Structure 1
Amino acid sequence: MAAENKKMHEAVAEKIIAQLKEGTAPWQLPWEKSTAAFDKPQNAVTDKAYRGLNALYLQLFSPFEDPRWATFKQAQSKGWQVQKGAKGMAINFVKTHQFYPKKDEQGKQVLDENGKPVKVPRTLNPPMITKAWVFNAEQIKGVPPIAKSSEISQWEKLNRVESLVKNTGASIAHVQGNSAYYSPLGDNIRMPEKTQFKSSDRYYATLLHELGHWTGHKNRLDRSIMNSFGTQEYAREELRAEIASMMLGSELQIGHDPGQHLAYVDSWIKILTEKPFEIHQAASDSQKIMDYLMTFDRKKELKQVASKSSTSDAEPVEVPDVERIPELSHQPEVKYQKQEMETTLKFGR
């Protein structure tokens, strides 16, 4: 099948399989870059961040440092010029509306003041998925230099992550040992002591991975996570947590620690070979994981708004209670009767 005729999920699956066969998980790649390590792919015209499979594809396989992209028509609309011979990257474009000629009661086409047909939008159900070619800002003449984001200290970044973790209310126990995992049976996370990690960002990257699994509980995003180690379903869940951890590391600017993937590589290759659409579903689920966890990042902001409102005559703002969450490191480890299942129903690294 010609590359240009392949569906996006097939092309992405093939690229990931090729790197997995070489022994390298492709999501390691973004953290080998320097200047754009924390910049999410975004549209150069609308400033909106790409999501799901589009975001994963552009972040993993872009050869450029600039995170901004635009279609040929978008570039033209801004007076920019795509360089001659530039090769774009194909992404999915979800079309939710189709424009049709407007007709009057007699069925005649309605014209505007210039004599041109008037068109009205109609919702497409289901939406239509088409292909759109986007070009990087480095390939487009006239794009203004990217605005430099204000420097944030490492302390501020890690404080933000710690606040997010506390706001989740997740049950987390720190125990000396060599494993980190989430237990769906007990709905709790076990982590090694913080002092066992070489750096604080590695600790939080690992914890974000486990929180990715935590979101799969039936009372949260309700994914199928009651699976034994070694099964394809287990490997599918690990794929989601790993991609989500990469997305979160980029969003929170702390990086991503891929860890060891030897236990899952063969399963991932098998899954993506037999069902390439799996990467589309995994990217979609990973986006949901990230969106879910990032809501806890905004609780502090909402609480501040509520505090200001309570000192004025305005109506109080109702926000989640984040004050009563106990210190995570002091939470007792929960014991369960079905200990024989504990060894298989875990997700971790």
Structure 2
Amino acid sequence: MSDSTSESFLQRHSRDVAERLIRQMEEGTGPFVQPWDARMDLGLPMNPTTGRSYRGGNLLHLWALQNAWDVRDNRWMTYKQATAVGAQVRKGEKASVIEYWDWSPVEEAKKSGDPGLIAKAHPKVFFPRVFNASQIDGLPELLLATPRPEPEIQQACEKVIRDSGAVIHHDGGNQAFYRPMTDSIHLPEREAFHSASGYYATALHELGHWTGFPSRLNRPMKGGFGSEDYAKEELVAEVSSMLMGERLGIGHDPTQHAAYVKSWIKILRDDPREIFRAAAAAERVVEFLKVPEFVHEPLPKVEREQTTVAANQQELEKANTKLRTSTRSRMKQREHTMVV
């Protein structure tokens, strides 16, 4: 695929993803605008051959598809990955496109130290096609993770907050906010929250804002309430709090930030790529805060079947070669007879 074709496909793909998320936000069913309980949730869209969740915009895209299709399976994989574990995509099923960015050309250019090469280096983008497990026959039944005990969840949340080193004051009255001027988080008293999960969800959202400070992830923190820049920062914090809520098992409650939905819709309509930028920034927030990720046990590959297929293919190639040799020999003999 040429660079111009890739760019055109990327624009169409971004627009399709943004439009689906916009429709779901308008209906109140989008991944980061819908409340959900982690104890009843399937988990983040993941690849069962790697055991890891999808990242960034791909994660939001596949999660939105799960919502739209109302499927009860969070596993997504390519056709090749399905066959490698002994499964089979059903005939007629339609694939969903995701993005894969290869940054190795940029990394190699940086290693060279050549300013000219660095300036010309660009990542390559590919568009793998994946299928949901509901479209595939032969996969083992989905096993949901056992919910962790509440004390363990709270301990994990406390560790993330404590290890961040953020200054937190419980003097916010009935408000929760991050103040860049003093680089501090302000929350209501713990007793003001209806549940421990509610407290941690709010604290982690503000901690997401805290990571944007210049000495940390250095995101643009300009613009007052109601501005586009403010809404973009809120989108990053909301997606990052959703990811943290899933990883830590506290779920997601977006009600405090519902006022930004109209602004987010406008932002995505103006620039569909913004959802991918926000999702990538949210991933960096989660990584910066070292929020632990649950890794699933990867599905084993069916080595015996693959070996059998390879052996059969080799036998077929040998037979074809023998047939071609025999045919050429007969044709030469025939030609010789005709010449004589």
Q: Letter of the aligned partner of 1:11 in structure 2? A: D
Give the aligned length: 268
- For 2:72, give the aligned amino acid: E
How far apart in 2 are the matches of 1:25 and 1:261?
14
In the alignment, what sits opposite 1:64?
71
Counting only pairs closer than 5 Å after superposition, residues 1-349 of structure 1 correspond to structure 2 as 7-22=12-27, 26-29=31-34, 31=36, 35-37=40-42, 39-62=43-66, 63-95=70-102, 125-175=121-171, 177-294=173-290
Asked if the contact 1:36/1:65 (under 8 Å) is kept, the reply is no
Structure 1: any 5+ residue segments left out of the alignment?
99-123, 299-349
- On the 8 A contact 1:67/1:136 being kept in 2, the answer is yes
Structure 1 residues 184 and 76: CA distance shift in structure 2, 3 A: same
2: CA distance between counterparts of 1:132 and 1:284?
Answer: 18
Shift of 1:237: 0.1
Aligned mates of 2:121, 2:164 — CA distance in 1: 36
Deviation at 1:41, TM superposition (A): 1.7
CA distance in 2, matches of 1:85, 1:201: 43
Structure 1 residue 152: deviation in Å?
1.6
Change (3 A) 1:25 1:180: farther
Q: Per-residue deviation at 1:125?
A: 4.5
Indicate how the Cα distance of structure 1 residues 33 and 185 shifts in structure 2: closer, same or farther if over 3 A, else same.
Answer: closer
- Match for 1:201: what amino acid? S
Q: Indicate if the aligned counterparts of 2:148 and 2:249 stay in contact, CA closer than 8 A.
A: no
Determine the C-alpha separation between the residues in 1 that align with 2:136 and 2:283: 29
Task: Sort the Cα spacing of 1:42 and 1:23 in 2 relative to 1 into closer, same or farther, 3 A.
Answer: closer
CA 58–11 in structure 1, closer or farther in 2 if over 3 Å, else same: same
Q: Residue 28 of structure 1: CA displacement?
A: 3.6
- Residues 80, 142 of structure 1: 8 Å contact kept: yes
CA contact (8 A) 1:29 1:60 kept: no
Q: Which structure has greater helix proportion?
A: 2
Question: More deviation in 132-141 or 142-151?
Answer: 142-151
Residue-by-residue CA offset, 1:267-305 (whole Å, 9 max, x unaligned):
21221111111111111101111111126x69xxxxxxx
Decide which moves more: 258-267 or 136-145: 258-267
- Name the structure where strand makes up a greater proportion of residues: 1
Cα distance in 2 for partners of 1:176, 1:93 equals 42
2:248 partner amino acid: L
Task: Tell me how far apart the structure 1 counterparts of residues 59 and 28 of structure 2 sit (CA, whole Å).
Answer: 23
Distance 1:284 1:6 in 2: 17
Report deviation, 1:10.
1.5
Is the Cα contact below 8 Å between 2:45 and 2:59 reproduced in 1? yes
Counterpart of 1:92, as a letter, is E
| Corresponding position of 1:316 | none
- TM-score, normalising length from structure 2? 0.72
| Bigger radius of gyration among the two | 2
Q: Which of 156-165 and 27-36 deviates more? A: 27-36
Matched position secondary structure for 2:244: helix
Structure 1 residues 267 and 149, CA gap change in structure 2 (3 angstroms): closer
Q: Tell me how large the CA RMSD over aligned residues is.
A: 2.5
Moved over 6 A (4+): none
- Which residue of structure 1 lines up, in the alignment, with residue 320 of structure 2? none
Residues 162, 41 of structure 1: alpha-carbon distance in 2 compared, 3 angstrom cutoff: same
Q: How high is the sequence identity, in percent, across the aligned residues?
A: 41
Q: Tell me the TM-score normalised to structure 1 length.
A: 0.70
Cα separation, 2, equivalents of 1:210 and 1:24:
23
Whole-angstrom CA distance in 2 between matches of 1:289 and 1:46: 23
Give the unaligned 5+ runs of structure 2.
1-8, 106-119, 294-340
CA distance in 1: counterparts of 2:71 and 2:214, whole angstroms: 40
How far apart are the structure 2 equivalents of 1:33 and 1:76?
A: 31
